[in-house]
Amino acid sequence: MIAIVIAASVVIASRYGGESFWPGLVTGFLGTLLAFVLALGWERERDRSRLAREADELHKRRLTEVRRRLERLRAELQ
Give 39-74 pLDDT, tens digit per residue.
999 999 999 999 999 999 999 999 999 999 899 888
pTM of the model: 0.55
Burial profile 4-36: b = 16 or more Cβ within 10 angstroms, e = fewer: ebeeebeebbeeeeeeeeebeebbeebeeeeee
Q: Say yes or no to pLDDT of 18 above 70.
A: no
Residues 6+ apart with CB under 8 A from 67: none
